[in-house]
Amino acid sequence: MGNRVLIVGGVAGGASVAARVRRIDESAEIVMFERGPNVSFSNCSLPYHLSGIVENSEDLVLMDPVVFKKQYNIEARVMSEVMKINREDKTVVVKELETGKEYTEKYDKLFLSPGANPILPRSIEGIDSPHVFVVRNVVDIDKLNKYVKSRTKMTNVEMSEVNNVSVIGGGFIGVETAENLREAGFNVTLVEAMDQIMAPFDYDMAQILHKEMIDKGINLILGDGLKKVGPESIELNSGKKIQAEAVVMAIGVRPEVSLAVDAGLELGETGGILVDHNYLTNDKDIYAVGDAIETYHQITKQKTRLPLAGPAQRQARAAADHMYGKPHRYTGVIGSSCIKIFDMNAASTGLTDKAATKAGIQHDFVYIIPGDKVGLMPDCNNMHFKLVYEVPTGKILGAQAIGKGNVDKRIDVIATMITMGGTLEDLKELELCYAPPFGTAKDVVNFAALVGLNLLHGDFEQVKVTEVRDLVESNAFIVDVREKREFEAGHLVNSVNIPLSELRDRINEIPKDVPVYMHCRSAQRSYNAVMAMNNSGYRNVKNISGSFLGICSYEYFNDQVTGRDKIVTAYNFK
């Protein structure tokens, strides 16, 4: 008889451990415990049931216990909660939730993959109301979907039809839930306590996502939190009241570590289960993987937690391999992720500008907005791309991309470069696929590397898009080098229009005794203008990073929501 392997929790971590153990060891006895009714489901697809993209909630279930047993000879016990770990005699106490019966199971090796629980602050009045929901599993999303699409409460007492739903939290689950509820026809309010949604993006990039949500009808409220849940409304910390017949809580998750703590397993500094590079806990017979563990950030060299499916599956394989003496290379995590928000796709990897600053890493960044494919293609669209790199080494630290095209493809390239220790020089020389329907001969990532090298070598200076408002309000000398028709369609209120095509004939109109700030539509023409001026005796000329499209995207939310004075005469996002 082989090893007796017990696994607490299914989905990405636990189910992957079970499958890997079986592939290595046909003689192992594998038992997996899941306290819910589904041991393997697509948790990342849960919000898409609300819009009907995933029509039936049953389709979210990837594999049931019968299939696990028949195909893999793995025993998956659902509605079974592991209540206690007895490390001394290597047993666990299991409770059958449907019957209340408790029994003991022995293990040779134990794997913990309990995941993380949604945070529900008990200080919020009404948080336990029946119309407050979370989104963690198939049961949760089915319950929410049936509630918002029904005219009656569970008690069969007549109520008003659900028209207004408030989602609290602007992370992945909150944003995807809000989007899919809106697509289903509901009036949706998204409330986020921070000043932006989607923490994996810098504030300037997040503004593009804010605009997309507002344009698609989401009532977006930032910098405010939930104070009270009423029968058909919510009250925010600011005192603002929002009509809501249903509320979805998505403010974050907390690692499920109670079982580990009770067993005397150590926690790390972030509150996750402490594991070594082989995912072993302080007990040599107990491993832990997934959302509940503390891991290591490859770039910052600091401990972190990363509740994503990809890392969980890799951890599961590595842990199972170690159990059988198979080596693996521990690299830590860099945090690669992507999301669709209505018509926009967004992806990020590694460090943002703000994260690099917080980590104390000397760095700079490139913000460009090229086309995602050859401009002659009818589906060519702008791609907002931000590349963060270390100074003075040029080592790539992270990137963010937002657009209607294949942003994930570009971020995957950067993630690979980071993992391999790549620099701007490496990225510049990277040979990538090209055909007009797919990209450009000089791809977005190559283009970003070239701009980064110019900045690193001091060939020109840039101004962040976040600094433009101050320049406008201080009446700085700003030159718009777009053509006259572009300028007339919308421009910075105090800018001077000198098209690049006329620059050399009109260069005497630009003063040499004050700083000059150049911009165009996407910073490419203005870069050429800056270089022409630098080579004509000008010594204080800077290019505005992101240029007009970046400025418009950044200022849109401020103007629409905060009521700040406009610094742009019109918005032109095409």
478-500 mean pLDDT: 95
**Within 420-546, where are the H helices?**
424-428, 444-456, 468-473, 484-489, 503-506, 524-534
Residue 1 confidence (pLDDT): 47
Q: How far apart are CA 19 and CA 265, in angstroms?
A: 25
Q: Which range, of 1-15, 343-357, 502-516, averages the lowest pLDDT?
A: 1-15
Length of the chain (residues):
574
Of residues 395 and 551, which shows the higher confidence score? 395
- Residue 154 clears pLDDT 50, i.e. is over it: no
Q: What is the three-state SS of 528-559? A: HHHHHHHCCCCCCEEEECCHHHHHHHHHHHHH
pLDDT of 261-316, one tens digit each? 999 999 999 999 999 999 999 999 999 999 999 999 999 999 999 988 899 999 99
Q: What is the mean pLDDT of residues 137-157?
A: 76
* Interval 157-161 mean pLDDT: 59
Side chain identity, residue 161: E
> What pLDDT digit, counting tens, does each position of 230-254 carry?
999 999 999 999 999 999 999 999 9
Q: How confident is the model over 98-110, as pLDDT tens digits?
A: 999 999 999 999 9
On the CB side of 149, how many CA atoms lie within 13 Å of its CA?
14
Q: CA-to-CA distance for 391 and 356, rounded, in angstroms?
A: 11
User: Would you place residue 57 in the very low, low, confident or very high pLDDT band (cuts 50, 70, 90)?
Assistant: confident
* The predicted structure's pLDDT at residue 153: 43
Query: What does the pLDDT read at residue 142?
Result: 92
The answer to whether residue 559 scores a pLDDT higher than 70 is no
The domains located in the chain, with CATH, are 4-115+254-323 (3.50.50.60), 132-251 (3.50.50.60), 343-459 (3.50.50.60), 462-562 (3.40.250.10)
Chain segment 310-347, per-residue pLDDT in tens: 999 999 999 999 999 999 999 999 999 999 999 999 99
Amino acid at 315: Q
Q: Which residue carries 């698609």 as its tokens? A: 216
**Average pLDDT score, the chain:** 92
Contact 282, 274 (CB under 8 A): yes
| CA distances in angstroms from 152 to 26, 145, 234, 288, 509, listed in the order given | 51, 13, 20, 43, 71
- Closest to 42 in 3D by CA, of 309, 392, 226: 309
CA distance 280 to 186: 46
Q: What is the value of pTM for the model shown?
A: 0.93
Start-to-end Cα distance in the chain: 66
Radius of gyration from C-alpha coordinates of the chain: 27
Mean pLDDT of 32-54: 89
Residue-wise pLDDT tens digits, 407-430: 999 999 999 999 999 999 999 999
DSSP label at residue 276: -
CA–CA distance, 444 with 436 (Å, rounded to integer): 13
Burial (0-12, 13-18, 19+ Cβ within 10 Å), 508: exposed
Task: Determine the pLDDT at residue 421.
Answer: 96
Q: Report, as an integer, the average pLDDT of 57-80.
A: 90
